[in-house]
A and B are shown apart, each in its own frame.
Chain A
Amino acid sequence: MTGSKLVFMRRALLLLFPALSYLTSLGQSSELAPVTRTYAIKNARIVQAPGRIIDNGVLVIKNGIITAVGKNIEIPAEARIIKADTMYVYAGFIDGLSHTGVPKPKEEENKVKDPGNPPNDIAGIEPQRDVRNMLDPNDKSVDEMRRLGFAVSHVVPHGRMLPGQGAIILHAGESPDAMVYKQQASLFSQLTGAPGIYPNTVIGVMAKYRELYRQAEQAKAYKARYIQDATGMERPSSDRVLEAFYPVIDKQIPVVFKAEDVLSIQRVIDLKSQLGFNLMLAEIKQGWDISEKLKNSGAKLFLSLDLPEMKEEKSMPDTTKTTDKNVELKADKDPEKQRLQARKDETIKKHYQQPALLQSQGVEFGFSTFEAKPRDIKGNLSKLIENGLSEDAALSALTTTPARLLGLSSTMGTLDIGKIANLVITDKSYFDKESKVKYVFVDGKIFEYKDEPVPKKNGETVRVTGKWTYNTETPQGVHTGDIVINGEEGDYSGTISSTISGDTNDLSNISVDGDQLSFSFTVVIEGNAVLVEVIVTVEEGSFEGTMTAGDYGSYPIEGERSPEK
């Protein structure tokens, strides 16, 4: 069966058995779910909120709501009983910002006549877009986040400077509307320019942002005047881009800005103080030196769970594959190299110590998972605790604090009567490295996790042969094309094509190490041969990583396996 036919068949099945497909898409239970919407979780250690614990407690859920929680609770006859002896129950986690449930759209090639005056959508200026129109309940990111205990996400569209409006979604529901808890929750913004067109750089983006905001204020004021006394006045023109700012100007919704590094964060705080909008700062990675500034900004803060890789302390000498062991060993003895490595390690540690530091300075924060790989999130949370964050503080940042920052406290964030039944149940304390998530309830719906995704065995290499499509964004625009790899381990060959140049180049130095694929090829830029080096991580038919083109810089590259013919 060809790929397209398969898809067609699956679609047909989906149409025929929507309910069944819902179950199979959860992929953890072959038996039919019981018909009740009442559940009782028994004999569990119930962590109602950070520091509020009931040992051997019972929690009852009815019609999506927590109806009873405590010690001596009568269990309703119709309840499905979850035996949770020695298990831990927490409020479902709340993710401060991500693209969960929002598939990444295909990048399109856009030829613009005058790069100084591009159409708004190509320039990345689409604040009028609503993320609800982009939600896909079956996107794998929903299940990946739910598996980790996240019941709720603040989600936003993909894009550049002004991708659109965010929403608060529940990680359950069969249609986009069924998932949405709160629409138009925020106006999403980034300091991201458009490749090759205005605004292209951070200075262009900031200037454009100021201009749009002031134009919106002006247009809004004029409209108010017009409504008062329209006769004889020029009709205000309708402008969906400017109108998207009106609720922000009225302080009805915040601007949520993604700002990772210490400089971007301060640039965004500058914009806020100049323009005066309510600000949410998300995906913060480097805030340790500016805690006072963060506190004084009045912004609501979400720290990134995407952390740089921290090498585990090994007692054994590192036996990485090297072409020349002696050179490697000599270099490691080089005191200068040791000092540089020590500084690098210190910097990495600062990322892990940041939540504990901010906590000690009285800075309130939740977490965001925007750029974090789902498989790293749980381990990263454990490492944050190893680096000084208390479990209670971590739990607050996953539950009560984001609930408050996102205005959800009346219905979410704790295990109290009347709250929405968002729960995560683990066999040990969640923050224990060995703990496993057993059940997650979202909106009163049960999700049971029996089989862990099997981790890759050490030393096993992924299959890289075949045809892949890739795309990468450089200042020239978006490059797409095919990568074809043939041969077998130790003897690979391949080619890469580019739709921009129309060239196909041979790959060299193709090597696979575990799930890492690396190769290089040569292109001619401005008459010079430039070696382009690519390192990507391959995962289930897709890859992502970086492409480095000599002095021309490094760019993210991602791709997926083409369907086999």
Chain B
Amino acid sequence: MKEYIAIVLLLLFSQAVQSQQKGTVLIKNGTVLTITKGTMEATDVLIKDGVISKIGKGLSTPKGAQTIDATGMYVMPGIIDAHSHIALDAVNEATSPVTAEVWTGDAINPLDVSIYRALAGGVTISHALHGSANAIGGQSETIKHRYGTVDPDALRMKEAPRTIKFALGENPTRVHGGGNGIVPRTRMGVEAVFRSSFSEARQYMKAWDEYNAGKSKKGYKGTAPQYDLRLETLADILKGDIIVHCHSYRADEIYMLMQVCKDFGIKKLVFQHVNEGFKVAPELAEFGAMASVFSDWWAYKFEVYYSTAYNATILHKNGVVTSINSDSGELIRHLYHEAAKTQKYGGLSDNDALSMITINPAKQLGIESRVGSIEEGKDGDIAIFKNHPLSIYTIPMMTIVDGVVEFDRENDPDDMRIYVDPKETIDVTLHGTGHAGDRCMQDAEFLFHE
């Protein structure tokens, strides 16, 4: 027994010291759901050094490569969650209505066992979002689920564009108006926060432009504006360098933010939750805004009462790029079920339903050229299922990131924690996770006064 433990530990730790790996693997004879190029029966997928190099029949195994027999199984692109808070040591810097300068990438926790649980549900990428306590929250990080490393940097998806979290409605008004008695107290206040922040960022950019234009002149006496990381970040949003992901529920506030973005020339906009998105679906499509929704979760606070499980289908049929997300360390393990609900509520095709957890979230994160479908040249991120992934009988069998097998149902040790707390009390009972695992308001609870 002791020896067995030692071996497992050795394996774990030898893994822990390796950072970003790229694997070579041949997945043979599966039903390949490419998402963008149709479905291919009895087809092989070859991943070489982390990249899909060939899709076809009867491919030969390169030397030293692992072979996976996927006969009778379904091979799909790794699932992508556009709204998650797993693998983060901090979610909200809830002390100010505007904290554009903070970045969840600073708080990545590669040791979080939730990553492994997500892998067990076929999820290879998640969007580690800042929470929704502030009108303008923090910049967020797109992470690849490369589990088994202690290096936060190994999880960061370097090719992913910058994103930032905004929030509308009751969260910022409760935290700042209710909690601290400052703006915003109302939805009007939230809009005012956006407008004044962007106006200030414009002035800041102008002042820098003037300084930069003048400073090379001989005998220039001007002063640069004081460096301000918050305004730098807001300026980058105005320049189009950052995709805005906005927590939202009500149609009126969704429409409001689109107006604000039009006024300030901001085009890259994705709404999160968007429970009343179905009411303004044509307007969203016209703007080019996208939507990332829950399949069927609502009524957990007042502004989320007017909802429907048909939301994803209606948005999709109106031409809005729509994804289905988890916002939870528990839901993330069965996003394939969440996607399947669009077939009961709206009758989406298999491919459209699977798009909601693959290529569409990839578009929302600006990484669709790398992931989200099985195509030659894309990253080797694959999920293999027994039974069709949209069937209620489906079982995730294997999850591959960059050609490295990160989850294998046949070889799934009990304790997959990378580090254990030396002070922990060994307690084999389960602890409740509180609010169904929802961490949207983590680090902000102290601002709710009765």
**Which residues from chain A sit less than 8 Å from chain B, CB to CB?**
114-117, 196-204, 206-208, 210-211, 214-215, 218, 222, 232-234, 262-263, 266-267, 270, 286, 289-290, 293, 308, 331, 334-344, 346-348, 351, 474-476, 526-527, 551-552
Q: CA–CA, A202 to B107, complex, Å?
A: 7
Segment of B73-81, B148-156, B198-206 in the binding face: B148-156
Is the beta-carbon distance between A336 and B103 smaller than 8 angstroms?
no
Q: Mark B148-179, 1 if CB is under 8 A from A, else 0.
A: 00111100000000000000000000000000
Q: CA–CA, A488 to B1, complex, Å?
A: 47
Is the beta-carbon distance between B180 and A198 smaller than 8 angstroms?
no
Is the beta-carbon distance between A207 and B103 smaller than 8 angstroms?
yes
Contacts A262-B150, A475-B446: A347 and B422 contacting too (C-beta < 8 A)? yes
Tell me which residues from 5 to 38 in chain B have a Cβ below 8 Å from any Cβ of chain A: 5, 9, 13, 16-17
Contacts A211-B101, A339-B5: A344 and B424 contacting too (C-beta < 8 A)? yes
CB pairs A–B below 8 angstroms (20 shown):
A196-B446, A201-B107, A202-B90, A202-B107, A203-B102, A203-B104, A203-B138, A204-B102, A207-B229, A211-B101, A218-B224, A233-B223, A234-B223, A263-B89, A267-B106, A267-B152, A286-B419, A289-B16, A475-B445, A551-B432
Is the beta-carbon distance between A340 and B428 smaller than 8 angstroms?
yes
Q: Which residues of the partner chain B approach A308 to less than 8 Å between Cβ atoms?
A: 422-423
Closest to B226 in A: A215
> How far, in Å, is B138 (CB) from chain A's closest CB?
6
**Which residues from chain B sit less than 8 Å from chain A, CB to CB?**
1-2, 5, 9, 13, 16-17, 89-90, 92-99, 101-104, 106-107, 109-111, 130, 138, 150-153, 180, 182, 221, 223-224, 226-230, 414-415, 417, 419-424, 426, 428, 431-432, 434, 443, 445-448, 450
Q: Which residues of the partner chain B approach A201 to less than 8 Å between Cβ atoms?
A: 90, 92-93, 102, 107, 443
Q: Which residues of the partner chain B approach A290 to less than 8 Å between Cβ atoms?
A: 150-151
> How far, in Å, is B72 (CB) from chain A's closest CB?
33
Q: CA–CA, A478 to B415, complex, Å?
A: 37
Q: CA–CA, A52 to B46, complex, Å?
A: 62
Is the beta-carbon distance between B420 and A347 smaller than 8 angstroms?
yes
Q: Which residues of the partner chain A approach B447 to less than 8 Å between Cβ atoms?
A: 196
Q: Which residues of the partner chain A approach B95 to less than 8 Å between Cβ atoms?
A: 115-116, 196-200, 204
User: Which has the most chain A C-beta neighbours within 10 Å: B93, B224, B414, B443?
Assistant: B93
Q: Which residues of the partner chain B approach A215 to less than 8 Å between Cβ atoms?
A: 226-227
B229's partner among A211, A233, A526 (CB-CB below 8 A) is A211
Q: CA–CA, A335 to B1, complex, Å?
A: 10
Is the beta-carbon distance between A222 and B428 smaller than 8 angstroms?
no
Contacts A202-B107, A218-B227, A339-B414: A115 and B96 contacting too (C-beta < 8 A)? yes
Knowing that A114-B180, A336-B414 are A-B contacts, what are 12 other residue pairs whose CB atoms are under 8 Å apart, sorted by A's residue number? A196-B95, A196-B446, A198-B96, A203-B107, A211-B101, A234-B221, A289-B17, A337-B428, A338-B1, A339-B414, A340-B415, A347-B422
- 6 tightest Cβ-Cβ pairs between the two chains A and B: A116-B96, A308-B422, A201-B90, A198-B95, A204-B93, A211-B229
A222's partner among B110, B180, B224 (CB-CB below 8 A) is B224
Closest to B109 in A: A263
Is the beta-carbon distance between A475 and B443 smaller than 8 angstroms?
yes
Closest to A338 in B: B1
Is the beta-carbon distance between B424 and A200 smaller than 8 angstroms?
no
Closest to A215 in B: B227
> How far, in Å, is A42 (CB) from chain B's closest CB?
45
> How far, in Å, is B445 (CB) from chain A's closest CB?
7
Q: Which residues of the partner chain B approach A114 to less than 8 Å between Cβ atoms?
A: 180, 182
Is the beta-carbon distance between A198 and B446 smaller than 8 angstroms?
no
> How far, in Å, is B13 (CB) from chain A's closest CB?
7
Q: CA–CA, A256 to B373, complex, Å?
A: 47
> How far, in Å, is A201 (CB) from chain B's closest CB?
4
Is the beta-carbon distance between B448 and A339 smaller than 8 angstroms?
no
Q: Which residues of the partner chain B approach A348 to less than 8 Å between Cβ atoms?
A: 422
Q: CA–CA, A24 to B276, complex, Å?
A: 76
Is the beta-carbon distance between B93 and A199 smaller than 8 angstroms?
yes
Q: CA–CA, A234 to B2, complex, Å?
A: 72
Q: CA–CA, A336 to B104, complex, Å?
A: 35
Is the beta-carbon distance between A343 and B221 smaller than 8 angstroms?
no
Contacts A233-B221, A308-B422, A344-B426: A218 and B89 contacting too (C-beta < 8 A)? no
Is the beta-carbon distance between B101 and A207 smaller than 8 angstroms?
yes
Closest to B134 in A: A116
Contacts A116-B96, A204-B99, A233-B221: A289 and B227 contacting too (C-beta < 8 A)? no
Q: CA–CA, A8 to B447, complex, Å?
A: 44
Is the beta-carbon distance between B106 and A551 smaller than 8 angstroms?
no
> How far, in Å, is B247 (CB) from chain A's closest CB?
17
> How far, in Å, is A87 (CB) from chain B's closest CB?
36
Q: CA–CA, A115 to B104, complex, Å?
A: 20
Is the beta-carbon distance between B422 and A344 smaller than 8 angstroms?
yes
Is the beta-carbon distance between B415 and A266 smaller than 8 angstroms?
no
Q: CA–CA, A286 to B104, complex, Å?
A: 22
> How far, in Å, is A334 (CB) from chain B's closest CB?
7
> How far, in Å, is B162 (CB) from chain A's closest CB?
14
User: Which has the most chain B C-beta neighbours within 10 Å: A201, A290, A308?
Assistant: A201
Is the beta-carbon distance between B94 and A200 smaller than 8 angstroms?
yes
Is the beta-carbon distance between A266 and B93 smaller than 8 angstroms?
no
> How far, in Å, is A230 (CB) from chain B's closest CB?
10
Q: Which residues of the partner chain A approach B110 to less than 8 Å between Cβ atoms?
A: 263
Q: CA–CA, A476 to B179, complex, Å?
A: 11
Closest to A261 in B: B419
> How far, in Å, is B301 (CB) from chain A's closest CB?
14
Q: Which residues of the partner chain A approach B426 to less than 8 Å between Cβ atoms?
A: 337, 340-341, 344
> How far, in Å, is A199 (CB) from chain B's closest CB?
7
Q: CA–CA, A234 to B180, complex, Å?
A: 37
Q: Which residues of the partner chain B approach A331 to less than 8 Å between Cβ atoms?
A: 428
Closest to A345 in B: B422
Closest to B130 in A: A203
> How far, in Å, is A41 (CB) from chain B's closest CB?
41
